[in-house]
């Protein structure tokens, strides 16, 4: 069966994202999932041509995403907003390319997202997590390097997993050097790396990585490897984090972003300027970073209420 005009439009847009805008594979995959759902929604209503879509259909799609139906679970406000952003980007692209006269989604506003403060661990909790790897084993040395890099740099999990061994070796050879990371849209930034993360990386490179590397006949350039000698995957990294959280008996779920949130919050608690934290995190806008200042303000309020004799 040949593709419909809407399906061909989505393919063209995804190619544009990957080739012309340099979007990562994860971003393209996320857009593909959301837009496939959108195209199927339109097809169920007899619409296969993007030129026939109006803002009413886009609004109906947004409402459908947030309404449970049988076995289908309603999406959260955040997920629905992300899906709408994909649809709006698609229609804006089609209008720019002259495929449609205008963007059918331009007037559709996303649902209001409730402000949720990032969950940051305390210093004691972070230390408990960092203490969990068994550094007498190659896997433990690798896990320690992963955890120390995530908390020590505030990097995204994808950024840490993308580090190659040559980059790490260059860093370790230069005490004053920084680590080169590539964020969203392949935007490059240099972040300083403290002594704990450096020590964990060096221990892994010297005592752990060689054993994992020999498991593969095709050497991998990656810093962090799995037991087969291949680059550590996101799924494996999440499992390592989950296991560390359980081993530390935190009583809460942790993720790579938990350590990123904690990194930012602890910097601000220590007096770092929000603009500096913005650069370290690789945020395009300081507005994104400023949510962490709300975490710090809430922490100050809790301390005040618990410690001051006339706070209540």
Shortest CA distance to 122 belongs to which of 277, 299, 306? 299
Catalytic site includes residue 186: no
Number of H helices, E strands in the chain: 14, 2
Q: Which of 82, 119, 230, 257 is catalytic?
A: 257
- Going by C-alpha positions, the residue among 131, 159, 124, 142 that lies closest to residue 227 is 142
Rounded to an integer, what distance in angstroms lies between the CA atom of residue 256 and that of residue 238?
Answer: 7
Catalytic hit among 88, 91, 142, 156: 156
Catalytic residue among 91, 142, 209, 283: 283
**Nearest partner of 158 among 254, 283, 257, judged by Cα:** 257
| Alpha-carbon separation of residue 24 from 29, 60, 165, 295 (angstroms) | 9, 29, 21, 30
- Spatial separation of the C-alpha atoms in residues 269 and 273, rounded to whole Å: 10
**283 among known catalytic residues:** yes
Of 198, 260, 261, 266, the catalytic one is 260
Helix, strand or coil, per DSSP, at residue 120: coil
The pair of structure tokens assigned to 249 is: 């008996």
- Catalytic-labelled residue, pool 16, 184, 189, 231: 184
292 assigned to active site = yes
Residue 156 is a catalytic residue: yes
Q: Measured between alpha carbons, how far is 97 from 154 in angstroms, rounded to an integer?
A: 39
Determine what percent of the chain falls in helix, strand and coil, rounding each to the nearest 5. Answer: 60, 5, 35
- Whether the Cβ atoms of residue 90 and residue 8 lie closer than 8 Å to each other: no
- As annotated, the active-site residues are 156, 184, 257, 260, 283, 292
């Amino acid at each position: 069966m040949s593709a419909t005009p809407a399906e061909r439009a989505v393919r063209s847009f995804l190619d544009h994202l990957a080739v012309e805008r340099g979007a990562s594979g994860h971003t393209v995959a996320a857009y593909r999932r959301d837009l496939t759902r959108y195209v199927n929604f339109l097809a169920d209503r007899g619409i296969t041509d993007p030129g026939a879509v109006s803002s009413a259909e886009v609004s109906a799609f947004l409402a459908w995403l947030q309404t449970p139906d049988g076995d289908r679970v309603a999406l959260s406000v955040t997920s629905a907003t992300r899906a709408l952003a994909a649809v709006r980007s698609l229609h804006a692209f089609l209008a720019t390319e002259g495929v449609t006269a205008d963007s059918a989604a331009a007037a559709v506003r996303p649902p209001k997202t409730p402000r949720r403060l990032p969950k940051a661990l305390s210093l004691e909790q972070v230390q408990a997590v960092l203490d969990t790897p068994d550094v007498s084993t190659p896997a433990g040395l690798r896990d320690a390097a992963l955890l120390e890099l995530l908390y020590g740099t505030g990097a995204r999990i994808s950024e840490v997993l993308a580090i190659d061994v040559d980059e790490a070796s260059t860093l370790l050879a230069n005490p004053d050097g920084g680590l080169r990371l590539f964020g969203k849209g392949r935007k490059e930034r240099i972040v300083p790396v403290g002594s704990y993360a450096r020590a964990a990386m060096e221990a892994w490179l010297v005592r752990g990585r060689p054993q994992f590397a020999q498991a593969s006949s095709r050497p991998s350039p990656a810093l962090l490897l799995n037991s087969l000698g291949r680059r550590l995957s996101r799924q494996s990294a999440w499992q390592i984090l989950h296991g560390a959280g359980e081993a530390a008996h935190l009583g809460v779920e942790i993720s790579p972003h938990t350590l990123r949130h904690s990194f930012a919050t602890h910097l601000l608690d220590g007096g770092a300027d929000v603009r500096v934290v913005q650069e370290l995190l690789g945020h395009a806008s300081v507005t994104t970073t400023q949510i962490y200042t709300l975490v710090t303000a809430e922490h100050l309020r809790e301390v005040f209420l618990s410690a001051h004799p006339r706070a209540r």
